[in-house]
A and B are shown apart, each in its own frame.
Chain A
Amino acid sequence: MTNPPAAWIRSIGLIGPGMADWPACAAILAGDAAWSPEKTVLNAPEQLPPAERRRAVRVVKLALGIGLQATTAAGMDPSGLATVFSSSGGDGVNCHQICETLASDDRQISPTRFHNSVHNAAAGYWGIATGATAPSAVLCAYDGSFGAGLLEALAQVRFDGQPCLLLAYDADYPEPLRAARPIPDAFGVALLLTPEREANSCGRLAAKLTDAPPDTLADPALDALRCSIPAARSLPLLEAIAASRSGRVVLDYLAHARLAVDYTA
């Protein structure tokens, strides 16, 4: 059997509750800063043309925000980068509005809401914002969406020998869908993966399936965040990166399998 697919982590972008960016999150995970979980702040990036800035829904702002953090941190032009977008759902508010309209007497939904409803809305806006014409994979594996995205991104890096930007992100639904899918807030993480070690790489990772149970976080509040937002299932890996701690971390993935991620700082 061949070695599990592996890649170097060039940079990280992150936005979450009380976490404006990756340095802020890393300080919290390393125990150097206290976490005050305030509601996630999302902004439409300057790179979008005015019409798209107005139309950008929460998951779009979240995905573009983490992606641009990662490419800016690496000083890398995003226009040539292949991307993997992975999330448990599209935009919750947008979905709720469409379902409300379709259940009403006047079913005429707005064209903008319809095109914002596709699961690949964030990938489409990313292309418009950055000019990236490279391939983009857009995935969903429910609570395992981070793991599914990581496997796809690692396979791409190995197969194509090119850098790949992984973006895993989820945002909350309003009621009544929130009761059925209780994601409390928005969280997203972007990993810029490269086939070779580069200056300022923050470690190397390789992944394969395992039967082992997932790692948890010692801090109960942070572990609750891990369990409540699919993209935050990445936190045990991010904690190892923040602490420069080499070793194996096990991440939640599917009902029958977890991901064993071997991280080398």
Chain B
Amino acid sequence: MHPLLISAYTASSCLGRGLEPLREAMLAGRSGLKPCDFETVSLPTWIGEVEGTDDQVLPASLARFDCRNNRLAQLGLVQDGFADAVREAMSRHGADRIGVFLGTSTSGILETELAYRHRAPDTGALPATFNYAGTHNTFSLADFVQHWFGLKGPAVVVSSACSSSAKVFASAARMIASGLIDAALVGGVDSLCLTTLYGFNSLELTSSRACRPFDRARDGISIGEGAAFALVEPVPASMPRDAILLLGYGESSDAYHMSSPHPEGRGARQAMDAALARAGLAARDIDYINLHGTATPSNDAAEGKAVKGLFGDATPCSSTKGATGHTLGAAGGIEAVIAALAIRDGFVPAGAGTTDPEEGLDYVLATRRQPVRRVLSNSFGFGGTNCSLILGSPA
């Protein structure tokens, strides 16, 4: 494929708002996870919470979108000059030539969970203030962001569980190539809610401590929340040497099981192969792999097999979910931003939380300062949905 320029990017997570705290945490191998104290949740698990999310006040004209997920979206949009970059792109391309492609798994479903606690005793009706379209509905995120900017192009939410905000890059690339748009606002936002905390607990997939991806003693995920955004455009005639490019993407489906990955990592391998092929690269061209690495026994075993099969033990790799938690529909976007930082600043991030990694991989336990030209980032999800992205610097 023709590479695309990632002309602006930002991410907010439990590590902090915007790029700088994320970069500092990656360099230090620091985690932002804490014991779960979210809402009224009583579960023996750890979470990654974005401080101050509920302090965000949405513009009065967009009050119908008010929910934790859209507050987190707004918190993320205003970091690192990202919103200004989007407005500048609007003036360059036109508001109707920029598409919005955002990933989320649970959108604002927390509003519905809370509304169900306040049903009318006689009729069972939800409170009159409940706004389904603005909060609960999966599209609410893209609808809100499109209105927040006044964008007038295509808009869609990709909701394929934990691959969502990786796959938005693929959808945006296709839409740009098809000529329908000139640029795309991509990313993902997912926020803490009871459905995912109690749901992953019901599957016995949550750890009772901070998650330890790829550790031999790993015992489950820590759920996080986050917001990541990127502006994607065709590569201009000239660009700075430190530009960040989307070089390729690969997608596949496991066709195996709803909540377990294919045990041999078949779909993971297929997605990574497809990303390399689309980028015109070989495995040896990748300097760092940001693993999906959820810290469940089955995901990391399957992904490890697939990575070993394709890369051997030669390529440094780590999962950054020990630092951010598993931000589900935002994970692909946040990890794409981590890939961009690794390339921009020259480091291979440590996998926080892990001390005794599985053998057979070059699993990075302490951050390495070294030039990084190309990163492969994996995002896999429930239902066997897989996406690998390759980001890099100009050739």
Chain A interface (Cβ within 8 Å of chain B)? 1-5, 52, 55, 79, 88-90, 95, 98-100, 102-103, 107-111, 114-121, 123-125, 127-128, 130-142, 144-145, 148, 151-152, 154-156, 158-160, 175-177, 179-181, 208-209, 254, 256-257
In the bound assembly, the distance between CA atoms of A119 and B105 in angstroms comes to 7
Q: Are B137 and A140 in contact (CB under 8 A)?
A: yes
Q: CB of B160 within 8 A of chain A?
A: yes
Contact status B195-A140, CB under 8 Å: no
CB distance from B264 to the nearest CB of A (A): 13
Q: Which residue of A lies closest to B199 (CB)?
A: A114
A152:B171 contact, CB within 8 angstroms: yes
Residues of B close to A125: CB separation below 8 A: 258, 383
* Cβ-defined partner of B258 (8 Å) among A121, A158, A177: A121
The reply to whether B381 and A120 form a contact with Cβ atoms under 8 Å apart is yes
Q: Give the CA-CA distance A5 to B175 in the complex, in Å.
A: 9
What distance in Å separates the Cβ of A253 from its nearest Cβ neighbour in chain B? 8
Known: A155-B175, A158-B178. A128 touches B160 (CB 8 A): no
Tell which of A2, A135, A141, A256 has the most Cβ of chain B within 10 Å: A135
Distance between A100 CB and nearest chain B CB, rounded to angstroms: 6
Select B195's contact among A3, A114, A144, beta carbons within 8 Å.
A114
- Can you spell out 29 A-B residue pairs with CB atoms less than 8 angstroms apart? A2-B178, A4-B179, A90-B138, A99-B116, A102-B116, A114-B198, A115-B203, A119-B161, A120-B159, A120-B160, A120-B381, A120-B383, A124-B258, A124-B384, A127-B383, A128-B255, A133-B266, A133-B267, A135-B252, A136-B251, A137-B158, A137-B167, A140-B156, A142-B133, A148-B155, A158-B178, A180-B132, A209-B96, A257-B153
Question: B198 contacts which of A108, A130, A139, A208 (Cβ < 8 Å)?
Answer: A108
Determine how close the nearest CB of chain B comes to the CB of A251; give it in whole angstroms: 13
A214 to B270, CA, bound (A): 41
Does B253 interact with chain A (Cβ within 8 Å)? yes
Q: Is the interface of B mostly helix, strand, loop or mixed?
A: mixed
How many A-B pairs have beta carbons closer than 8 Å: the answer is 217
Nearest CB to that of B161 among chain A residues? A118
Q: Complex Cα distance A137/B146, Å?
A: 21
Contact in complex: A111, B156 (CB < 8 Å): no
Mark B235-259 against chain A: 1 for CB-CB distance below 8 A, else 0: 0000000000000000111111111
What would 9 more interface pairs be, CB under 8 Å, given A109-B202, A142-B137? A107-B194, A114-B202, A115-B383, A119-B105, A137-B158, A148-B155, A176-B126, A181-B137, A209-B96
- Which residue of the partner chain, among A2, A152, A180, contacts B156 with CB atoms under 8 Å? A152
Q: Which residues of chain B are within 8 angstroms of A3 by Cβ–Cβ distance?
A: 179
Interface size of B by Cβ–Cβ distance < 8 Å? 67
Instruction: Give which listed residue, A79, A123, A124, A140, contacts B138 with CB less than 8 A.
Output: A140
Evaluate contact between A148 and B154: CB separation under 8 angstroms: yes
Judge if B139 is at the interface, Cβ distance under 8 Å.
yes
Q: Is B117 an interface residue (CB 8 A)?
A: yes
In the complex formed, the residue of B with least CB distance to A119 is B159
B160 adjacent to A159 (CB under 8 Å) = no
* Cα of A1 to Cα of B267 in the assembled complex, Å: 37
B257: chain A residues at CB < 8 Å are 128
Give bound CA distance, A90 to B199, whole Å.
Answer: 16
Nearest residue (CB) in B for A55 is B258
Given the interface contacts A134-B253, A141-B157, A158-B178, does A99 sit within 8 Å of B112 by beta carbon?
yes
Least Cβ–Cβ distance between B98 and chain A, in angstroms: 12
Identify B177's interface contact among A89, A128, A155, A179, CB under 8 A: A155
**CA A90 – CA B258 in complex, angstroms?**
15
Report whether A180 and B126 are in contact in the complex, using a CB–CB cutoff of 8 Å.
yes
Contact assessment for A103 and B117 in the assembled complex, using a CB-CB cutoff below 8 Å: yes
- Cβ of B113 and Cβ of A139 under 8 Å apart? no
B157 proximity list for chain A (CB < 8 A): 139-141
